[in-house]
Amino acid sequence: MKYFNNRTTIRNYSSKIIDNELLNDMLEAAAHAPTTGGMQLYSVIVTENEEMKQRLMPCHFNQPMVAQAPVVLTFCADFNRFVKWCQQRNAEPGFDNLQSLMSAILDVTIFAQQFNTIAEMQGLGCCYIGTTTYNAQEIAEVLHLPRLVVPIVTLTVGYPDESVRPVTTERLPLHGIVHHETYQDYTAHDIDEIYAEKESLPVNQGFVKENNKQTLAQVFTDVRYPKAVNEEFAKRLYDYIKAAGYQI
Number of domains observed in the structure of the chain: 1
The pLDDT value recorded for residue 4 is: 81
From the number of C-beta atoms within 10 Å of its C-beta (0-12, 13-18, 19+), residue 57 rates as: middle
**Structural domain for 100, as ranges:** 2-163
Note whether residue 239 is domain-resident: no
The pLDDT value recorded for residue 81 is: 98
The pLDDT value recorded for residue 64 is: 95
Note whether residue 201 is domain-resident: no
* Extended strands (E) in the chain: 42-47, 71-78, 125-129, 149-158
Q: What is the mean pLDDT of each run of 10 residues along the chain (248 residues)?
A: 84 95 98 97 98 97 96 98 98 97 98 97 95 97 98 97 84 96 98 97 96 97 96 97 96
- Specify the pTM: 0.94
The pLDDT value recorded for residue 227 is: 97
CATH for 89: 3.40.109.10
The pLDDT value recorded for residue 154 is: 98
Question: 100: which residues sit within 8 A by CB, 6+ positions away?
Answer: 41, 79, 94, 246
Note whether residue 181 is domain-resident: no
